[in-house]
Amino acid sequence: MTRSGSIILCYHRVAEGVEDPFQLCVTPANFAAQLEEIARHGEPSTLSELSDPSQRPRVVVTLDDGYVDNLTNALPIAEAKEIPITVFVTSGDVGGRRGFWWDRLGTLLRSRPPGTHEICLPTSEGTVRVGLGSSRPIVDLQSVRRHLLPLPVAEIHRLLDDVSEQWGSSAAPPPDARSLTASELVQLAASEMVTIAAHTVDHVRLRGLPAQDQLDTISSSRKDLEQLSGQAISHFAYPYGGLDSFDDCSVDAVRSAGFETACTTIPGNAKVTSDPYRLPRRIVMNWSRLRFRAGWERWRLVPQH
């Protein structure tokens, strides 16, 4: 590892992303340009190589959630550029047709009846009303998302079904925003460039959940993915990944489930002194080569602690 440390990059989707309110998509052209920059200025690496000595800063490319475009769009580019990628798969969504709840929420708010000024969420702890109608759709999305995030994932889907029925509007995710099927996961895992890693069974926010529940979803995702892929699963990423999305119980559970590392989305460079179960990452957006290079310059300038 160099003095300024290694950089772990966090992507989600590599797609044109016509409907992409949460800005999860990087276009294939920008992804290719970004990987070229990584190869030019860094040492493309896997998470297991993170602490090995290197002349150039190690760079690990990770993709979260397990979208199908990781296979169809990201993999061919990674293979062409010979850059390893790590894919954190939400194991319970493999082969799932329902879609991730944030993609469903995006459709629901877009297709709401004209003049709808609030969303009414009949949660198990009472009805929550959230005002809508900001001139920027992302503001509405974020305010509804904030209320849904702490709930069990099954309840979030039930609430989305309820509102979809109330409004007579679709809550189907965009067709291209689907997760990998089991056979697609096997195909992805078969590439020498790919490390499959875990991301819980259902993408629940772990923070505050009973320790046993956390351990169950963390270790089951590992077991399920090992069975599906036929490979050892050694790395984990906390869903959402910020300080408010996991706690000490999550870290203990990841360690006792036998993982080598766990990634957060807390920004920073990974240092020799970094806790392997709280590794920082840099979120990459749909940046051009030039914009990515600017980000790279900034990340490398992070002062030493």
User: Given the rule CB under 5 A, which residues bind Zn ion?
Assistant: 64-65, 239
Please list the residues that pair with 236 across neighbouring strands.
198, 262
Of 28, 29, 35, 58, nearest in space to 274 by CA: 58
- Residue closer to Zn ion by CB (options 1, 209) is 209
| CA–CA distance, 259 with 220 (Å, rounded to integer) | 12
Residue 205 Cβ, how far from Zn ion at the closest point, in Å? 10
| CA–CA distance, 89 with 32 (Å, rounded to integer) | 22
- Residue closer to Zn ion by CB (options 29, 149) is 149
Could you please report the per-residue DSSP string of 53-95?
--SS-EEEEEEEE-BTHIIIIIHHHHHHHT--EEEEE-GGGTT
Residue 65 Cβ, how far from Zn ion at the closest point, in Å? 4
- Residue closer to Zn ion by CB (options 10, 38) is 10
| CA–CA distance, 153 with 100 (Å, rounded to integer) | 9
Q: Based on the number of CB atoms within 10 Å of its own CB, is 110 exposed (0-12), middle (13-18) or buried (19 or more)?
A: middle
- Residue closer to Zn ion by CB (options 59, 198) is 198
Asked if 39 and 13 count as a contact pair (C-beta separation under 8 A), the reply is: no
- Residue closer to Zn ion by CB (options 101, 296) is 101
Residue 250 Cβ, how far from Zn ion at the closest point, in Å? 14
- Residue closer to Zn ion by CB (options 44, 239) is 239
| CA–CA distance, 270 with 46 (Å, rounded to integer) | 13
Asked if 197 and 235 count as a contact pair (C-beta separation under 8 A), the reply is: yes
- Residue closer to Zn ion by CB (options 64, 176) is 64
Q: Which residue is nearest to Zn ion (CB)?
A: 64
Residue 52 Cβ, how far from Zn ion at the closest point, in Å? 27
Residue 64 Cβ, how far from Zn ion at the closest point, in Å? 4
Please list the residues that pair with 13 across neighbouring strands.
25
| CA–CA distance, 251 with 51 (Å, rounded to integer) | 20
Is the alpha carbon torsion for 167, 172, 175, 176 positive or negative? Answer: positive
Residue 245 Cβ, how far from Zn ion at the closest point, in Å? 10
Residue 187 Cβ, how far from Zn ion at the closest point, in Å? 21
Of 285, 102, 290, nearest in space to 179 by CA: 102
What is Dmax (Cα atoms) for the chain? 59
Residue 199 Cβ, how far from Zn ion at the closest point, in Å? 6
- Residue closer to Zn ion by CB (options 86, 296) is 86
